[in-house]
Structure 1
């Protein structure tokens, strides 16, 4: 009788633990969104209305502001079997000036892969002023085993960028896209 009661208590405790784990997993989505909102990490989750700089149409009369210099830092987060890096780590640019930076990518796997880069910006308020005109992050790419590519990012920093922002970090995380690569021949 005592053993049966202990088993019943153990089952109850395990059920509470399982429910707690489920609740924690369910709560992770809003927690993740809140963290991304605060840090500005997942900028692509925001709508075009909130971040107009994601796919801009610049005014034809954009003037270069030679009185200001902005340091743009280029960062990559590499988590996978590939090499991915910017050709330069940082640049000094004037707001309104068209700038192009190249990124190098190499698939070091022995198989074809499909992948896409996701950008993020720091500080967060700079995202709406960082206007990318050309970017490899706009599309997904399929790369053969060992293939090496160089991709451009052409951008203009809006002269209306707040005066207190002197450094912008553009960071890319490269993800493999599942289900996009054709099966290998048999």
Structure 2
């Protein structure tokens, strides 16, 4: 092998290494930028904003209460893992424009501290834009100590502009643990043992 050939191989390898490092840095930068880009896109399009405070709730709070209508609001609670989660009442009759509060109980039945988050959903889907949460435990992550129980409020108002054909709204929460530790796997036994 000639020295000329060895030099060209080293130059090629160095050039390839530089290109790969640049590509890796660009990929890292793009991955790092995805989170703020995702948030900006969601904010602009209104997608994935279920757990944000309703900034128009104050306006709805100052509206006249429509005493001619009653909407039944049903409360549903689901939990993943060893969390206990339930509303203190299953339903409530509400006049649109009336500020209401309902309490939920959440229990950590684990022997360790956990961080959890609630995600709301609404039925019928068209009611989502008329159900205004003023205060909600779903706005932030909740930390529960081992075997702790908390009472948490949801303060809401139903916009009087809710279509007249909507007589019942179901507010459903799913509460799940964040960053659940991995379950250690039992060691595998050798075949024939």
Q: Taking structure 1 as the reference length, what is the TM-score of the superposition?
A: 0.67
Q: What corresponds to 2:71 in structure 1?
A: 70
Cα deviation 1:48-98 (Å, max 9, x = unaligned): 764888513232631100000000000011221011000000000000000
Q: Which residue of 2 aligns with 1:172?
A: 173
Q: Secondary structure at the match of 2:55?
A: coil
2:6 aligns to what? Answer: none
Write the distance in 1 (CA, Å) between the matches of 2:62 and 2:139: 25
CA RMSD, 1 decimal: 2.3
| Structure 1 residue runs without a partner (length 5+) | 1-45, 181-186
Cα pair distance change 1:48/1:61, threshold 3 Å: farther
**Which residue of the partner structure matches residue 84 of structure 1?**
85
**Alignment partner, residue 110 of structure 1:** 111
Aligned-pair CA distance for 1:99? 0.2
* Alignment of structure 1 residues 129-168 onto 2, 5 Å: 129-168=130-169
Deviations 1:122-176 (A, max 9, x none): 0011010000000000000111100010000000000000000000000000011
Aligned pairs for 1:3-152 within 5 A: 47=43, 50=46, 55-57=54-56, 58-59=58-59, 61-152=62-153
Contact 1:63 1:96 in 2 (8 A): yes
Q: Which residue of 2 aligns with 1:23?
A: none
Check conservation: 1:56, 1:132, Cα contact below 8 A: no
SS in 1 for 2:97: coil
- Distance in 2 (CA, whole Å) between partners of 1:157 and 1:130 is 5
Contact 1:112 1:145 in 2 (8 A): yes
| Distance in 2 separating the partners of 1:174 and 1:47 | 23
Give the Cα–Cα distance (whole angstroms) in 2 for the partners of residues 49 and 95 of structure 1.
27
The alignment of Structure 1 onto Structure 2 pairs a total of residues equal to: 136
Q: Distance in 1 between matches of 2:148 and 2:70?
A: 37
